[in-house]
Amino acid sequence: MCMELLKNSKVLVGEAELDNRVSELAQQINRDFAGEKLIVVGVLKGAFMFMSDLLKKITLDTEVYFLKAESYGNGTETSGTVKITKDIETDINGQNVLLVEDIIDSGFTMREVFKLLAKRNPKSLKLASCLSKPSRRKCEIDIDYLGFEIPDKFVIGYGLDCAEKYRNLPYIGYIETE
Ligand code: IMP
Ligand code: MG
């Protein structure tokens, strides 16, 4: 299905809208952590574009790390099992940590990632996610900095893929299935 995707795709969140919202989130983060150091942890691969845009607007003393969590095959449905396949290379004990995700769908991925990092005793642990599909949630997740709530549609672009394609689109697109 992914091959034919782009032909039937529509813009859900455009570039200007993304840019404005990312600026607002960065301002909020700059205010909330004023005078503090922030460890920013991106969840690969989907978060890379949102994280990069966000970081350009964050004026704090930051360090940047990535981890990789896998919960999806090549389809569009979650499996419910989450594997951490790449960990961060720093000790977060006593640090302010901001996790950055592309999208919270069922919530399973973030629940596992959050549990893993919370066990390491950070001073604070917050979550920024570009998108959220609340209607698909299977476990409760608090999103401290949310870009956009979206309906139950499979989205691509701005880091999000379908079978590894379309991550480079500068906007969030969706596929009209009916
Ligand atoms: P969750 O564990 O169900 O919350 O899913 C989280 C992960 O699934 C995200 O980090 C994405 O990588 C992927 N995902 C969920 N929904 C979509 C979508 O609509 N498009 C592309 N990837 C998605
Ligand atoms: Mg992801």
The DSSP bridge partners found for residue 40 are: 64, 98
Tell me the CATH number of domain 2-172, given options 3.10.450.710, 3.40.50.1110, 3.40.50.2020, 1.10.1740.10: 3.40.50.2020
pLDDT single digits (tens) 140-177: 999 999 999 999 999 999 999 999 999 999 999 997 76
Residue 152 annotated among the catalytic residues of the structure = no
Q: Whole-model pTM? A: 0.93
78-86 and 61-72 as β-strands: parallel, antiparallel, unpaired?
Answer: antiparallel
Q: Measured between alpha carbons, how far is 46 from 161 in angstroms, rounded to an integer?
A: 7
Q: What is the pLDDT of residue 67?
A: 97
Q: What is the pLDDT of residue 75?
A: 54
Q: What is the pLDDT of residue 152?
A: 94
Over the Cα atoms of the chain, what is R_g? 16
Atom of ligand 1 nearest to the CA of 153: 19
CB atoms within 10 A of CB 148: 16
Q: What is the pLDDT of residue 34?
A: 98
User: Which residue stretches of the chain have pLDDT < 70?
Assistant: 1, 3-5, 72-80, 177-178
* Torsion angles phi and psi, residue 159, rounded to 5: 100, -25
Q: What is the pLDDT of residue 65?
A: 98
Expressed in angstroms and rounded, the spacing between residue 105 Cα and the centre of ligand 1 is 5
Q: Where are the domains of the chain?
A: 2-172
Q: Measured between alpha carbons, how far is 168 from 157 in angstroms, rounded to an integer?
A: 6
Residue 129 Cβ < 6 Å to ligand 1: no
Catalytic residue among 53, 105, 142, 152: 105
Q: Measured between alpha carbons, how far is 58 from 31 in angstroms, rounded to an integer?
A: 10
